[in-house]
Amino acid sequence: MEQEHNSEKPGRRTAGKHEDYKKRLQRIRRKRKGGLYAYGKYAAVGAAALLAAGGILGAVLWMNRGGSGDPAGREMAAAAEGILADGSLATGSAASRIAGDGSGALAAQDAAEEARIQAEKEEALDAYANLGIADVEEFLNVRDAAENGMVIGRLPSGGACDILETEGEWHHIRSGEVEGYVNSQYLLTGEEARERAMEEIEEMAVVTAESVNIRSEPAISYANVVGQAWTGDRYPVVSVEDGWIQVEDGYISADYADVRYALPEASELDQQTLALNQYQNLVISKVSTYLNVRSSPEDQGDRNIIGQLPSYAAGEIIETLDGWYHIRSGGIDGYISSDPQYTAVGQEARDLAYGAMSLMAIVNTERLNVRTEPNTESSIWTQISQEERYHVIQQLDGWVQIELDSAGEGEEIDGAYISIADGNAEVRYTLEEAIRFSPLDEAAGLRSRIANYALQFVGNPYVWGGTSLTNGADCSGFVQSVMRNFGISLPRTSRAQSQVGEAINSSEMQPGDLIFYANSSGTVNHVAMYIGNGQVVHASSARTGIRISNWNYRTPKVIRRVL
């Protein structure tokens, strides 16, 4: 089973500090001793000095009133000058009488402060109905399910959680914004947890705003932002001064965080790490265009191709064979070459994946309206299909602007906004996966040859105004150049191409037919070529290049037969 924490051995269960987290706290404590948190020490010294000075002044005044005739008065008068009657320095009881005995008051103040701190700590611990404390060296994985669930968060060493229920060797917990499962052998409970918690609890800045900037200096400037913190994030406090809280990473405005005694809690993994954690045994395609996915671990030319793995697309390795990986990707179960010049695994795959993944909107409903503006009063200019994925341009309040196709030369493209308020689409980081595809039997005739020829250029770049199948073309330039290879002449723009040939309906489509899509005004601005099996090939956008899509990935305007 995969390790539940980042060390080869469980955390020790004896009293003591755990290295990673405690080293950081020790650095902070050293800063505190030289900073604002040293004020208590200096205040105590100052108070003692004031009391001593007051006692001396009182003694002098009393002496001047004639008290020097009394032996005790003479002793105090001499002591006011630092010397006793016998010529020795004023020490012990005499010095105490001179200064006035302020130690009792200071001790009472200290006791009251300690009681206040203890009460705050107890209150913080009482907030957990069934306290659990992570007993590991650095962090404990939190999973979305027991046993082999995906890692969704991390509970740091000494971090606290509420245990909701226990299922065998797993605790179902909630900590901060994370709810999931942790292995019970790495979690302290009961009195043992409370004792450890009292060691770990620390004054922390707890973020109360949805998000807040962390700055390099205690001042508001675009230039000094070094990071962001989110609701519930917790940082050990170094100092507090003039509306700013200093933490180890920088400064947080005190308007957006509370300073209180608290324990560290779990943090969610970033979205990119969550995307990678969906793969237990990741493989990434390293080719510049696409890698064939085959039905068997052998190269039979076109006969056993069942899909394509685009450039830097991901798959899950099921087993490794001689020269082949058995993978699952995009709903396809098949085989790809294991040659390292074509595929990456291990850390290389993870590094490539981080660079390749992007924020996508994934459609969760059968058809989703696309509007020209992020509001329900704006025009619906197309619809997109379930399970289609679109690159996110920006996220707004309840809306997402997505990238559809780029327009061809001389054509316009509208803004494309979809509502995510009702769960119609999910926005998350994701990787491209395999596309189901099989080459056509060219013995079937010209249409199959045209489709197969066009498919050779999948993965090549989109270039606005271009007509090169290898160096880059836009949507109409791509179709025009493919057809030209077979002696078929077409106009340059998709709008003009949509007037050629005869209109047909979707039930009549054959490979080589052209499907046209329109903008919000109903004007054609994009074209794709039908290749059979409900799919089209088209020069989509600068981000995606020449690609394969479902024929109705957006609502078609017209379908034309030009052959």
Domain assignments of the chain as residue spans, ordered by start: 1-27+127-269, 38-110, 272-356, 440-561
What band does 415 get if pLDDT is binned at 50, 70 and 90?
A: confident
- Known catalytic membership, residue 172: no
Query: How high does pLDDT run on average in the chain?
Result: 83
Q: What b/e sequence results for 512-523 when a residue is b if at least 16 CB atoms lie within 10 Å of its CB, and e otherwise?
A: bbbbbbbbbeee
Per CATH, 1-27+127-269 and 440-561 having the same topology is answered: no
What band does 538 get if pLDDT is binned at 50, 70 and 90?
A: very high
What band does 196 get if pLDDT is binned at 50, 70 and 90?
A: very high
* Residue 10, Cβ density class (10 Å: 0-12 exposed, 13-18 middle, ≥19 buried): middle
Question: Can you tell me the distance from the alpha carbon of 129 to that of 123, in angstroms, rounded to the nearest whole number?
Answer: 12
Question: Can you tell me the distance from the alpha carbon of 53 to that of 47, in angstroms, rounded to the nearest whole number?
Answer: 10
| Set 5, 18, 171, 526: catalytic member | 526
Residue type, 139: F
| Cβ-proximal residues to 500 (8 Å cutoff; 6+ apart), any chain | 490, 491, 560, 562
Q: What mean pLDDT is predicted for residues 429-442?
A: 88
**pLDDT, position 191:** 96
What band does 407 get if pLDDT is binned at 50, 70 and 90?
A: low
What band does 410 get if pLDDT is binned at 50, 70 and 90?
A: low
Question: Is the model more confident about 57 or about 450?
Answer: 450
**pLDDT, position 409:** 55
| Cβ-proximal residues to 543 (8 Å cutoff; 6+ apart), any chain | 391, 403
Decide if pLDDT at 34 tops 50: no
**pLDDT, position 437:** 85
Tokens 């959680």 found at: 161
Residue 289 main-chain phi, psi, to 5 deg: -115, -85
What's the CA dihedral at 418, 421, 422, 426 to 10 degrees?
A: 70
What band does 414 get if pLDDT is binned at 50, 70 and 90?
A: low
Decide if pLDDT at 73 tops 80: no
Decide if pLDDT at 482 tops 70: yes
What band does 60 get if pLDDT is binned at 50, 70 and 90?
A: very low
**pLDDT, position 311:** 92
What band does 148 get if pLDDT is binned at 50, 70 and 90?
A: confident
Decide if pLDDT at 95 tops 50: no
Q: What is the pLDDT of residues 296-353, one digit of tens each?
A: 999 999 899 999 999 999 999 999 999 999 999 999 999 999 999 999 999 999 999 9
Lowest average pLDDT, out of 62-66, 99-103, 205-209, 491-495, goes to: 62-66
Instruction: Calculate what percentage of the chain has a pLDDT beyond 70.
Output: 80
Q: State the Cα angle at 431 between 557 and 420, rounded to 5°.
A: 55
- Known catalytic membership, residue 161: no
CATH: 2.30.30.40, 1.10.3720.10, 3.40.30.10, 3.40.640.10. Which one for 1-27+127-269?
Answer: 2.30.30.40
Helix (H, G, I), strand (E, B) or coil at 451: helix
Decide if pLDDT at 125 tops 50: yes
CB 530 within 8 A of CB 513: yes
Top-level class of domain 272-356: mainly beta
Lowest average pLDDT, out of 199-213, 362-376, 433-447, 488-502, goes to: 433-447
**pLDDT, position 227:** 85
Polymer length of the chain: 563
| Set 5, 18, 171, 538: catalytic member | 538
Question: Can you tell me the distance from the alpha carbon of 56 to that of 67, in angstroms, rounded to the nearest whole number?
Answer: 14
What band does 408 get if pLDDT is binned at 50, 70 and 90?
A: low
Decide if pLDDT at 266 tops 60: yes
CATH 3.90.1170.50 fits 440-561, yes or no: no
Question: Is the model more confident about 18 or about 191?
Answer: 191
Question: Can you tell me the distance from the alpha carbon of 548 to that of 550, in angstroms, rounded to the nearest whole number?
Answer: 7
Question: Is the model more confident about 50 or about 437?
Answer: 437
Instruction: Calculate what percentage of the chain has a pLDDT beyond 90.
Output: 60
Residue type, 444: A
What band does 33 get if pLDDT is binned at 50, 70 and 90?
A: very low
Decide if pLDDT at 39 tops 50: no
The side-by-side arrangement of strands in the sheet containing 257-262 is 225-230, 211-215, 250-253, 244-247, 234-241, 202-207, 257-262
Of the candidates 359, 321, 358, which has an alpha carbon nearest to the alpha carbon of residue 339? 321
User: Does an H or E element contain 160, and which?
Assistant: strand 160-167
The side-by-side arrangement of strands in the sheet containing 435-436 is 343-345, 282-285, 314-321, 324-329, 332-337, 290-294, 305-310, 435-436
| Set 18, 161, 171, 475: catalytic member | 475
Of the candidates 258, 206, 259, 203, which has an alpha carbon nearest to the alpha carbon of residue 229? 206
- Known catalytic membership, residue 538: yes
